[in-house]
Structure 1
């Protein structure tokens, strides 16, 4: 007999979702140094899941440093990681939810991704004029969905793939995955923001709002890069 799809959310479940959102957001906006062993293990697992051999892992202090030294002509694996890991997991969870609940969760989870986290990715992409880096922000909504699906909604999914996605978010900063080499960049050493009438934005007065250990930095006013 076909299992009925999960419908609405109780007030208690809504409170738990908010807690999970804040927990994962803290990883994305962290300025702590990554643990290279755990980052390597997370990305090696991702390569294994898409049928690739272990690449050479190169650690950099910033996306700028990685972009300067990597050979971008080799096969890029970001889309395969998306197709073989992220999308199937989302499909597995959402197949157990009603359409209304999928829309409700999307509206609740998306803002957590597009505010400060989304600004961070956009500003670095624009500074480098390069959009192939996969930052921790990329995994935020699916990590929360998996966490909520398992602990709040009792959904089932491929646990190993889910663990890999959550490990990448927890232990990697910015990733640039190619066939034979995987660049793993550390987190920023500084992320500054301020609360304005129309929301919270990356922002700083008299200093960069985003800075990495090697000095790569972005000056930001009200969420927009300035010279």
Structure 2
């Protein structure tokens, strides 16, 4: 095989965005799953990986799965011998009430993750084999793969579930949306190069991405969760909504988020324009204070918290927020446009001593005397 890779044609390159868009829409779908198709997909995955057919249980959300479905299915997940030992231990502890109250909260048995690892490993190496065959047959630069990747950032969801569920949180799950990148790649190569190799793998990945939300796979049981009924992201792919929930599930599980930071309902249910600067004086969480500052804006903070004027230079004013509303003191440079009256506010380091020093910092070290301030 030649070391010289063949470049895609302009027409083929134009297809990259089309397939990326197609599979990102599927990854972010809020359409209810077809449970019959989802069950068939799970059976296909287990068969593909050489595993016995599990009992399949459906639930509305990962929260329901972790808090109710998995605990009630423990007898199918934990080995019988371990179950008997756990029951014996609990029986003995009942003879010692004081110790029992402590240990019952620390008896969580780690669920096995071998099925999840086996499924991921099997699918991944089958995919790598597919791509090697593609590279050898067409001598295509697989660097194009990065352009076809689908990024769905749900880290805020997993973090919030972990906070709310504690020891009940289970990391042993497969988010079907993560397989949309594989589908994007495989679908593209099939269309761009008419490459029909390993159709079984392509069909399996597509069924998984289209038919399931999350799968908790174990030897004797697989719990399948539905998709969210609502998903909102910002331009940086972080969960985000203003005055409404950022994510919701059919069972009512939901939460608010602002540019990737989970918000309590008292903030999230209100649009940032309704947020009050005085909340900064009562909020103990530094990250939430940062979000409130970002949402409220320094102009409103100056107005509502009555910033102290430290110095002035022409249309520039150096201000300080007297209250400790952030990790370090808030110093602000306010500029009033002479022609429009528009007020612009910029945060400056707390070490600045004068308006002129703040102006110099804001202009990358250029002092006011070195540039014309009038426009």
Q: TM-score normalised by the shorter chain: which range applies? A: 0.7 to 0.9
Return the structure number with greater relative CO, CA threshold 8 A, min gap 6. 1
**Which of 192, 195, 199 is residue 232 of structure 2 equivalent to?**
192
- Contact 1:31-1:189 at 8 Å conserved across structures: yes
**Is residue 226 of structure 1 aligned with residue 293 of structure 2?**
no
* SS state at 1:14 partner: helix
Q: Distance in 1 between matches of 2:9 and 2:120?
A: 31
- Contact 1:93-1:155 at 8 Å conserved across structures: no
**Is residue 163 of structure 1 aligned with residue 191 of structure 2?**
no
Range moving further from structure 2, 75-84 or 57-66: 75-84
Q: Matches of residues 145-164 of structure 1 in structure 2 within 5 Å?
A: 145-164=185-204
Larger Rg over CA atoms: 2
Q: Distance in 2 between matches of 1:123 and 1:201?
A: 8
The aligned residue for residue 80 of structure 1 is 118
Cα displacement string for residues 174-193 of structure 1 (whole angstroms, at most 9, x for unaligned residues): 11111111111000011112
Q: Distance in 1 between matches of 2:49 and 2:57?
A: 20
**Which of 106, 110, 127 is residue 145 of structure 2 equivalent to?**
106
How far residue 49 of structure 1 moved from its aligned partner, in angstroms, is 0.9
Flag the 1:102–1:10 CA change in 2: closer, same or farther, 3 A: same
- Contact 1:77-1:177 at 8 Å conserved across structures: yes
Alignment coverage as a number of residue pairs: 216
Cα displacement string for residues 5-64 of structure 1 (whole angstroms, at most 9, x for unaligned residues): 862211111111211111111111111110000001111000001111111110000001
Flag the 1:172–1:5 CA change in 2: closer, same or farther, 3 A: farther
- Contact 1:89-1:157 at 8 Å conserved across structures: no
**Is residue 179 of structure 1 aligned with residue 212 of structure 2?**
no
Q: Distance in 2 between matches of 1:34 and 1:56?
A: 18
Flag the 1:92–1:3 CA change in 2: closer, same or farther, 3 A: farther
* SS state at 1:201 partner: coil
* SS state at 1:184 partner: strand
How far residue 158 of structure 1 moved from its aligned partner, in angstroms, is 1.9
Q: Matches of residues 196-211 of structure 1 in structure 2 within 5 Å?
A: 199-211=236-248
- Contact 1:42-1:167 at 8 Å conserved across structures: yes
TM-score by length of 2: 0.53
**Which of 250, 275, 279 is residue 213 of structure 1 equivalent to?**
250
Q: Distance in 2 between matches of 1:8 and 1:29?
A: 31
Structure 2: 5+ residue runs without aligned partners?
Answer: 75-109, 163-169, 265-375
TM-score by length of 1: 0.85
